[in-house]
Amino acid sequence: MAIEHANVLRAAHLARLGVSDAQAERYVDDLSRILEMVDRLSEIDTEGVAPLSHPLDATQPLRADEAIEVDRRETFQSIAPATADGLYLVPRVVE
């Protein structure tokens, strides 16, 4: 399946990646060649084959319901770009 300019811009928007028009053009080129290679998947008949998400047939382990974490806000926020009153700050969100 070919990838078009609009697909790249759409993906860039969904992924919140700033991409200029010129950059998008280059990505159309790169991504087209990658997808062309990926398209070989359609050569294989996979009728009735169950998808495999994990390489091992393992199941989810469960954790005991215990609140064991301590407050490390100071450490965590020491590496944050912008905080005030213990909050992370972002440009105003309009609802």
Partner 1 sequence: MHDKTLAELARGLAAGDFSSRELTSSLLERIKRIDPALNSFITVTDEQALKEADAADALRHKGEAGILSGLPLAYKDIFCTEGVRTSAGSKMLDNFIAPYNATVVEKLRHAGTVSLGKTNMDEFAMGSSNENSYYGPVKNPWNPKLVPGGSSGGSAAAVAAGLVPAALGTDTGGSIRQPAAFCGITGLKPTYGRVSRYGMIAYASSLDQAGPMARTAEDCAMLMNAMAGHDARDSTSVSRNVPDYTQGLNKPLNGLKIGLPVEYFGEGLAPEVETAVREAVRVYESLGAQVIEVSLPHTSMAIPAYYVIAPAEASANLSRYDGVRFGHRCKDPVDLEDLYKRTRAEGFGDEVKRRILIGTHTLSEGFFDAYYRKAQQIRRLIRQDFLDAFARVDVLMGPAAPTTAFELGAKADPVQMYLQDIYTIAINLAGIPGISVPAGLADNRPVGLQILGPHFGEAHLLNVAHVYQQATDWHQRRPEIKE
Partner 2 sequence: MQWDVVIGLEVHVQLSTCSKIFSGASTAFGAEPNTQACGIDLGLPGTLPVLNESAVAMAVRFGLAINAEIPEYSVFERKNYFYPDLPKGYQTSQMAHPVVGRGEVDITLGDGTVKTVRIHHAHMEEDAGKSLHEDYSGMTGIDLNRAGTPLLEIVSEPDMHSAEEASAYIRAIHAIVTYLGISDGNMAEGSMRCDVNVSLRPKGQEKLGTRAEIKNVNSFRFVERAIAFEIERQREILEDGGVVIQETRLYNPDLDETRSMRTKEEANDYRYFPCPDLLPLMLDEAYIEHQRSLLPELPSEKRQRFVESLGLSTYDADVLTGSRPLAEYFEAVQQHCSDAKLAANWVQGDLLGRLNRDGLDITESPVSAEQLGGLLVRLVDDTINGKAAKQVFADLWECKGETADDIIESRGLKQVTDTGAIESLCDQVIADNPVQVTQYREATEDKRGKMIGFFVGQVMKASRGTANPPQVNAMLTEKLDALL
Residues forming contacts to partner 1 in the complex (CB under 8 A) are 1, 3, 7-8, 10-12, 14-19, 27, 30-31, 33-35, 37-44, 46, 49-56, 58, 60-61, 63, 72, 75-76, 78-82, 88, 90-93
**Mask: binding to partner 2, 3-22, rule CB under 8 A, as x and -?**
-----------x-x------
- The number of residues making up the chain comes to 95
Token representation of residue 94: 């309009």
Report the site for partner 2 in 19-58 (rule: CB under 8 A): 53-54, 58
Please, which residue, 25 or 38, has the CB nearer to partner 1? 38
Picked from partner 2, partner 1, none, the partner binding residue 25 (CB below 5 to 8 A depending on kind) is none
* Cα–Cα nearest to 7, from 51, 46, 48, 25: 25
Tokens 């954790």 found at: 63
Among 21, 72, 78, 81, binds partner 2 (CB under 8 A): 72
Angle subtended at Cα 13 by Cα 21 and Cα 39, rounded to the nearest 5 degrees:
85
Phi, psi dihedral angles at 91 (to 5 degrees) = -55, 145
**Helix or strand (DSSP H, E) at 83:** strand 83-84
